[in-house]
Structure 1
Amino acid sequence: MSAVSKQQRVKGDTFLSEAKSTLEKKTWFSSSTEQKYEDAAELFQKAANAYKVGGLSMEAGDAYAKAADIFQNKLKNSMEATKALTDSGHCYKAVDPKKAIESFRESISMMCDAGRLSQAARLSKETGELFENDDAEGSVALAIESYQQAADLYEMEQQNSQSNQCIVKVAELSSAALDPPDFLQAAQLYEKMGKSCLDSNLLKYNAKGYFLQAILCHLANQDSVGAENAMSMYSSLDFTFRESREGKFAEELVECVNSFDSEGFATACFEYDRVSKLDPWKTTILLSVRKALDGGAGDGGLDDDDEVDLT
Structure 2
Amino acid sequence: MADNEAKGRELMLEADKKLSSSKGFFSSLFGSSSKVEDAADLFVRAANMFKMAKKWAAAGEAFCRSAVLQMQLGSKHQAATEYVNAGTCYKKADPNEAINCLLKAVEIYTDMGRFTIAAKHHVSIAEIYETEMVDIEKAITSYEHAADYYKGEESNSSANKCLVKVAQYAAQLEQYEKSIAIYEEVGMSCMDNQLLKYSAKDYFFKAAMCHLCVDTLNAEQAIQKYEEMFPQFGDARECKLLKSLISAINEEDADKFTDTVKDYDSISRFDQWTTTMLLRVKKNISGEDLR
TM-score bracket for the superposition, by shorter chain length: over 0.9
Please tell me whether residue 133 in structure 1 is matched to residue 126 in structure 2.
no
Mapped contact 2:248–2:256 kept (Cα < 8 A)? yes
Aligned length: 288
Q: Distance in 2 between matches of 1:163 and 1:30?
A: 50
Structure 1 stretches of 4+ with a deviation exceeding 4 A read none
C-alpha offsets along residues 195-253 of structure 1, whole Å, 9 cap, x if unaligned?
11111112212211111110101111x22222122111100011132232011111122
How has the CA–CA distance of structure 1 residues 208 and 219 changed in structure 2, closer, same or farther, with 3 Å as cutoff?
same
After TM superposition, list the pairs within 5 Å mapping 1:50-199 onto structure 2: 50-72=49-71, 74-135=72-133, 139-176=135-172, 178=173, 181-199=174-192
> Structure 2 length normalisation: TM-score?
0.93
Mapped contact 1:64–1:85 kept (Cα < 8 A)? yes
* Counterpart position of 1:244: 236
Please tell me whether residue 232 in structure 1 is matched to residue 231 in structure 2.
no
* Counterpart position of 1:259: 251
Mapped contact 2:95–2:133 kept (Cα < 8 A)? no
Aligned sequence identity (%): 34
Q: Distance in 2 between matches of 1:123 and 1:279?
A: 27
Which structure carries more helix by proportion?
Answer: 2
Query: Unpaired segments of 5 or more residues in structure 1?
Result: 295-301, 303-307
AA aligned to 1:192 is E
Q: Distance in 2 between matches of 1:226 and 1:27?
A: 76
Q: Distance in 1 between matches of 2:133 and 2:215?
A: 30
Mapped contact 1:270–1:310 kept (Cα < 8 A)? no
CA RMSD for the aligned pairs?
Answer: 1.6
Q: Distance in 2 between matches of 1:289 and 1:210?
A: 18
Q: Distance in 1 between matches of 2:218 and 2:178?
A: 13
**Alpha-carbon distance, 1:76 to partner:** 3.0
Q: Distance in 1 between matches of 2:133 and 2:101?
A: 20
AA aligned to 1:190 is Y
How has the CA–CA distance of structure 1 residues 27 and 259 changed in structure 2, closer, same or farther, with 3 Å as cutoff?
farther
Query: Unpaired segments of 5 or more residues in structure 2?
Result: none
Mapped contact 1:16–1:47 kept (Cα < 8 A)? yes
